[in-house]
A = this chain, B = another copy of it.
């Protein structure tokens, strides 16, 4: 099973064909950064049009077994996620509504403070809010995975503690390998993985040692060392591939509607756009490179298969349906 647990491409037939070429069985796609509930529904409607237009290439997945069906019919399963809790606005009842519509991951915050948790760009992190505690319980109940990729440390650790089900960091790397605002310190990774949660390794260049010049060997060695420390079964991929997006999209990701000045996030004024991808991972066609690189580190076939998708598949099996 080959799964990429985070992409936000400028979706097109070209991208969907590349998913098939790369034998990608499932992709967790972002459908909201700052979108309100109704704007998110509109994005789901746009996906419905993709599903109708390309029924031989893609299908929506609500459960892990939908991925089996996609694989058996040579298609890529698409799983919806939100990088911010903006789709639920201030309304706890929208968690169940959005789960029914297929939302399976939701970040509790995205860089900034949300109603639920603190983002990794805030100066101070008071942890999970009163509403955040209520929403965690509701996400646990319906089977929506708590994603803390863009959240701050204390909020992430508290979310792992408060959640009765495993949580995820869908796309980030260890801060010890490459210090970055978005990469995660050991105690954060430990809090998530020791509760059965998952870490998805990112290929977004700002999260890589040496950025776009990061070598395949460096990346795969980092994964192997992370596996030594936290357990292979808790690891997968979340490439953060933002293929074919214009730079206006990264400006939206960083600025939303919250500021009238320009926030450059992980970039800066001289480098405001999307960075180029590493040469060995241009797009969905290049997953074989990663599989080969992981094998070259000395990992077993089973370990490589787990990181390439098996571990996410197991996690989905346990966490996409109601508790009980």
Contacts and interface: CB of A to CB of B under 8 A. Distances in A.
A148 B112 CA distance: 21
Contacts of A260: 92-93, 134, 138
Contacts of A90: 34, 86, 256-258
Contacts of A247: none
A126 B130 contact: no
A236 to B, nearest CB: 30
Contacts of A125: 126
A131 interface: yes
Contact of A261 (B34, B91, B122, B134): B134
Given A112-B129, A114-B115, A131-B113, A92 B123 contact: no
Contact of A91 (B126, B129, B257): B257
Contact of A258 (B34, B115, B122): B115
Copies in the complex: 2
Contacts of A126: 113, 118, 122-126
Nearest to A95: B260
A69 to B, nearest CB: 34
Given A113-B132, A114-B115, 19 more contacts: A86-B90, A89-B89, A90-B256, A90-B257, A90-B258, A91-B257, A92-B258, A92-B260, A115-B115, A118-B126, A122-B126, A122-B129, A122-B130, A124-B126, A125-B126, A126-B126, A130-B263, A131-B259, A134-B261
Interface of A: 34, 36, 86, 89-93, 112-115, 118, 121-127, 129-132, 134, 138, 256-261, 263
A33 to B, nearest CB: 10
Residue from A34, A36, A89, A258 with most neighbouring chain B CB atoms (10 Å) = A258
Contacts of A129: 112-113, 122
Contacts of A132: 113
A129 B91 CA distance: 21
A220 B258 CA distance: 43
A50 B228 CA distance: 69
Contacts of A118: 126
A206 to B, nearest CB: 19
A130 B138 contact: no
Nearest to A141: B260
B124 A258 contact: no
Nearest to A131: B258
Contacts of A114: 115
Given A118-B126, A126-B122, A260-B138, A112 B92 contact: no
A308 B124 CA distance: 40
B258 A134 contact: yes
A7 to B, nearest CB: 24
B257 A92 contact: yes
Residue from A89, A90, A91, A125 with most neighbouring chain B CB atoms (10 Å) = A90
Given A138-B260, A260-B138, A112 B130 contact: yes
